[in-house]
Amino acid sequence: MSVAGKFECVTHSPMGDQTSILTVDVDGSSFSGSNSGPMGNMEITGGTVDGNTISWSSNITVPMPMKLDCTATIEGDALTGTVTAGMFGSFPMTGKRIG
């Protein structure tokens, strides 16, 4: 099954659970898309695909400017991964395919 699609995700951060919709548009070994949630829309940069593992970065401005580095593995309709927020550490992310 392709890693392309839309996923309803939850990142378990110190600020509480952060929900978002991750859109993955695959083009060979790279992908583009966005991660949209209550705090706004984060464009994906540097998206890579390696089998069923995807990695990307996003820049946020709320609650403060910061670069997020993300990695996720997609197995069937389930997504599991981590979001690394600089000096704040890494947080688990889970999700399920919705499209």
The string of pLDDT tens digits covering residues 39-94 is 788 899 999 999 999 999 999 887 788 899 999 999 999 999 999 998 899 999 99
pTM for the full predicted model: 0.92
The tens digit of pLDDT for each residue in 1-42 reads 799 999 999 999 988 999 999 999 999 999 999 999 887 888
CATH class of the structural domain 5-97: mainly beta
Q: How far apart are CA 26 and CA 54, in angstroms?
A: 10
DSSP state, 3? S
Domain ranges of the chain: 5-97
pLDDT at res. 26: 96
Q: What is the pLDDT of residue 40?
A: 82
Cβ–Cβ under 8 Å, residues 54 and 46: no
